[in-house]
Structure 1
Amino acid sequence: MPDSFATHLLSITTGRTETVTDLTGDCEQFLARVAHGRDGLLNIFVPHATAGVAILETGAGSDDDLLAALQTLLPADDRWRHRHGSPGHGRDHVLPALVPPHATLPVIGGRLELGTWQSVCLVDTNRDNANRQVRLSFFG
Structure 2
Amino acid sequence: MRSETFDLTTGGSAVVRDVTDRCAAFVRDEADGLLHVFVPHATAGLAIIETGAGSDDDTLTALDDLLPRDSRWIHQHGTPGHGRDHVVPAFLSPSLTVPVLGGRLALGTWQSVCVVDTNVDNPERQVRLSFLAG
State if a TM-score over 0.5 links the two structures.
yes
Percent of matched pairs sharing the same residue? 62
Match of 1:32 in 2: 28
What secondary structure sits across from 1:78 in the alignment?
coil
The answer as to 2:74 corresponding to 1:81 is yes
The structure 2 residue matched to 1:18, chosen from 14, 36, 58, is 14
Match of 1:58 in 2: 51
Q: Normalization by structure 1: what TM-score? A: 0.94
> 1:8 Cα shift?
1.1
Aligned 1:118-137 pairs, distance under 5 A: 118-137=111-130
What secondary structure sits across from 1:92 in the alignment?
helix
**Alpha-carbon displacement from aligned partner over 1:16-73 (angstroms, at most 9, x marks no partner):** 000000000000111125x1xx100000000000000100000000010000000001
Gaps of 5+ in 2: none
Q: CA RMSD in A?
A: 0.6
Gaps of 5+ in 1: none
Q: Normalization by structure 2: what TM-score? A: 0.98
Match of 1:104 in 2: 97
The structure 1 residue matched to 2:110, chosen from 111, 117, 121, is 117
What secondary structure sits across from 2:28 in the alignment?
helix
- d(CA) in 1 for partners of 2:103 and 2:121? 37
What secondary structure sits across from 2:4 in the alignment?
strand
Which runs of 4 or more aligned residues in structure 1 lie more than 3 Å from their structure 2 counterparts after TM superposition? Answer: none
Count the aligned residue pairs. 133
